[in-house]
């Protein structure tokens, strides 16, 4: 159960769940500078420049990992793994969209889009509409920031400012969404911030709005062991104190419900053909997994893709 959430909480880009979008964008910016980058996001650094990134801007410091390693090599390895994970995750879901549009899908919905830049950086085919759903202040920040840098979307981008705990299907339809057309849906960096019953409702609504041939992709997190989480909290606190930045404990924002449905199982029982892959398997496939001494495999995420039958 989350310790910092309420049923009606809201946020902007620098607070609560909104600030995690800055973390993800910072990781994309750092990845984009690598010679062997898995993804290239020319807009990530623009999006975080004025977002009050705090600890996350350390990802862009070339000497950060070396400094951390001198104090705690295991934490340095964890930071490296975290950066690699974000790159692998982005790469995986980029490929999902590429396959979807190659199959003829021209309607895309990104749930809790945060600072996602796919509507701007991916080469969408002509006629593609990308709907982005998120908190109004988050979408407003992204739109104004990119517009200030003359960044234009590469598809027909339609922002739908709404809390996903509200009647977002009605808002999506009002924005022009056509449930009779196949859709590619993405729930990336979202499900862990929902209670289990809200996750079920989300996929019920996605299913109701999905014509045959629609596709969905989702990231779901495992349950973290309490003792390891406490150890990591203490170690990260020492590092952030060393760099004089405010630490963030993402676990305070998430819901770790032990009875949460496995996404692939739920989808398979509700008219979808689903496939799931452990994220660490994908990281190893791309040579981006760092072995840790203090590891908890149960806490790793799963990438699920599915097609509506």
pLDDT for position 75: 78
**pLDDT over threshold 80, residue 238:** no
pLDDT for position 106: 98
| Band of residue 20 on the pLDDT scale cut at 50, 70, 90 | confident
Tell me whether residue 200 is in a domain: yes
Name the one residue in this structure whose structure tokens are 């960096």: 189
Of 88 and 297, the structure prediction assigns the larger pLDDT to: 88
Look at 30-34, 150-154, 294-298 and tell me which has the smallest mean pLDDT. Answer: 294-298
- The SS3 of residue 227 is helix
Average pLDDT over every residue of 209-220: 98
Average pLDDT over every residue of 157-163: 97
Contact 159, 132 (CB under 8 A): yes
CA distance 229 to 263: 24
Instruction: Give burial (CB, 10 Å; 0-12/13-18/19+) of 286.
Output: middle
| Band of residue 2 on the pLDDT scale cut at 50, 70, 90 | very low
Over the chain, what is the mean pLDDT?
88
pLDDT for position 254: 77
Tell me whether residue 8 is in a domain: no
**pLDDT over threshold 90, residue 249:** no
CA 64 to mean position of chain CA atoms: 23
**Domain holding 55: CATH number?**
3.40.50.150
Q: For a pLDDT cut of 90, what percent of the chain falls above it?
A: 63
Tell me whether residue 256 is in a domain: yes
Tell me whether residue 105 is in a domain: yes
Contact 219, 301 (CB under 8 A): yes
Average pLDDT over every residue of 236-253: 66
pLDDT for position 297: 62
Tell me whether residue 5 is in a domain: no
CA distance 258 to 276: 19
CA distance 207 to 183: 10
Tell me whether residue 205 is in a domain: yes
Tell me whether residue 12 is in a domain: no
Determine how β-strand 215-220 pairs with β-strand 302-308.
antiparallel
Of 10 and 275, the structure prediction assigns the larger pLDDT to: 275
CA dihedral 92, 93, 94, 100 (to 10 degrees): 120
CA within 13 Å, CB half, 56: 29
Contact 142, 115 (CB under 8 A): yes
Full domain range(s) for residue 112: 17-308
249: tokens are: 């404990």
pLDDT for position 235: 67
Q: Which residues make beta-bridge pairs with 303?
A: 219, 277
pLDDT for position 157: 98
Average pLDDT over every residue of 16-28: 82
For the chain, the domain total comes to 1
126: tokens are: 């002509």
Tell me whether residue 138 is in a domain: yes
Of 24 and 225, the structure prediction assigns the larger pLDDT to: 24
């Amino acid at each position: 159960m989350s310790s910092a959430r309420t049923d009606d909480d809201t946020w902007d880009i620098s607070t609560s769940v909104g600030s995690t979008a800055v973390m993800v964008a910072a990781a994309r910016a750092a990845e984009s500078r690598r010679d062997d980058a898995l993804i290239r996001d020319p807009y990530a650094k623009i999006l975080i420049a004025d977002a009050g990134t705090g600890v996350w801007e350390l990802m862009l410091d070339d000497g950060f990992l070396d400094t951390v390693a001198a104090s705690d090599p295991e934490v340095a390895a964890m930071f490296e793994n975290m950066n690699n994970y974000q790159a692998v995750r982005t790469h995986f879901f980029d490929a999902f969209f590429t396959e979807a549009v190659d199959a003829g899908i021209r309607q895309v919905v990104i749930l809790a889009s945060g600072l996602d830049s796919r509507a701007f950086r991916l080469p969408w085919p002509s006629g593609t509409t990308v709907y982005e759903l998120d908190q109004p202040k988050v979408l407003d920040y992204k739109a104004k920031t990119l517009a200030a840098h003359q960044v234009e979307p590469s598809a027909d981008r339609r922002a739908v400012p709404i809390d996903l705990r509200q009647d977002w299907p009605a808002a999506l339809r009002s924005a022009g969404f056509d449930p009779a057309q196949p859709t590619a849906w993405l729930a990336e960096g979202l499900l862990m911030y929902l209670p289990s019953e809200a996750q079920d409702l989300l996929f019920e609504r996605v299913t109701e709005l999905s014509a045959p041939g629609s596709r969905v992709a989702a990231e779901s997190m495992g349950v973290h062991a309490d003792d390891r989480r406490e150890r990591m909290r203490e170690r990260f606190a020492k590092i952030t104190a060393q760099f004089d930045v405010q630490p963030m404990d993402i676990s305070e924002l998430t819901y770790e419900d032990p009875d949460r449905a496995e996404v692939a199982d739920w989808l398979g029982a509700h008219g979808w053909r689903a496939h799931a892959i452990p994220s660490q398997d994908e990281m190893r496939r791309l040579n981006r997994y760092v072995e840790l001494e203090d590891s908890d495999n149960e806490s790793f995420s799963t990438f699920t893709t599915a097609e509506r039958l």
